[in-house]
Structure 1
Amino acid sequence: MKILVANPRGFCAGVNMAIECLDEAIRMFGSNIYVYHEIVHNKYVVERFTQKGVTFVNAISEVPEQSILLYSAHGVSPEIREQSRARKLQTIDATCPLVTKVHLEAVKYAREGYHIVLIGHEGHDEVIGTMGEAPASITLVEDPEDVAKLSFPLDAKVAYLTQTTLSVEEAGRVIASLKSRFPKIESPPKEDICYATTNRQDAVKQLAKNSDVVIVLGSQNSSNSRRLQEIGASFEKRSFLVDGAEELQREWFSDADTVLITAGASAPEVVVQDCIAWLSREFGATIEEVTTREEHVAFPLPRELRVLQSARN
Structure 2
Amino acid sequence: MQETNGTLPRLELKLCAPRGFCAGVDRAIQIVELALLKYGAPVYVRHEIVHNKYVVESLRNKGAVFVEELNEVPDDGQPVIFSAHGVPKSIPAEAQRRNMFFLDATCPLVSKVHKEAILHDRREREVLLIGHAGHPEVIGTMGQLPEGTVHLIETVADAKSYQPHSDRQLAWISQTTLSVDDTSEIVRVLKERFPDIAQPHKDDICYATTNRQEAVKFIASQCDALIVVGAPNSSNSQRLREVAEREGCQKAVLLQRAADINWKDFEGITSLGVTAGASAPEILVEEIIEAFRSHFDVVVETIRTATEDISFNLPRELREGVSTTG
Deviation string for 1:224-259 (max 9, x for gaps)? Answer: 000001111222420100111110121111111100
Pairs within 5 Å for 1:96-245: 96-135=107-146, 136-152=148-164, 156-234=168-246, 235-245=248-258
2:52 alignment counterpart? 42
CA distance in 1, matches of 2:317, 2:187: 37
- Do 2:16 and 2:275's aligned partners in 1 also have CA atoms closer than 8 Å? yes
Residue range with higher mean Cα deviation, 132-141 or 200-209: 132-141
CA distance in 1, matches of 2:317, 2:189: 41
- Do 1:2 and 1:288's aligned partners in 2 also have CA atoms closer than 8 Å? yes
Q: 1:29 aligned to 2:35?
A: no
Unaligned runs of 5+ residues in structure 2 are: 1-10
2:269 alignment counterpart? 256
Shift of 1:306: 2.1
CA distance in 2, matches of 1:311, 1:276: 38
Count of residue pairs brought into register by the alignment: 313
Question: Which of 269, 288, 298 is equivalent to 1:285?
Answer: 298
Shift of 1:308: 4.8
Unaligned runs of 5+ residues in structure 1 are: none
2:3 alignment counterpart? none
CA distance in 1, matches of 2:82, 2:165: 37
- Do 1:147 and 1:177's aligned partners in 2 also have CA atoms closer than 8 Å? yes
TM-score (normalizing by structure 1): 0.96
- Do 1:213 and 1:260's aligned partners in 2 also have CA atoms closer than 8 Å? yes
Shift of 1:154: 8.5
Shift of 1:173: 1.2
Q: Are the structure 2 counterparts of residues 154 and 26 from structure 1 closer, same or farther at C-alpha, using a change threshold of 3 Å?
A: closer
Percent identity, please. Answer: 43
Residue range with higher mean Cα deviation, 231-240 or 76-85: 231-240
CA distance in 2, matches of 1:259, 1:168: 23
Report the aligned-residue RMSD: 1.6
Deviation string for 1:252-295 (max 9, x for gaps)? Answer: 11111100000000000000000011101211211111111111
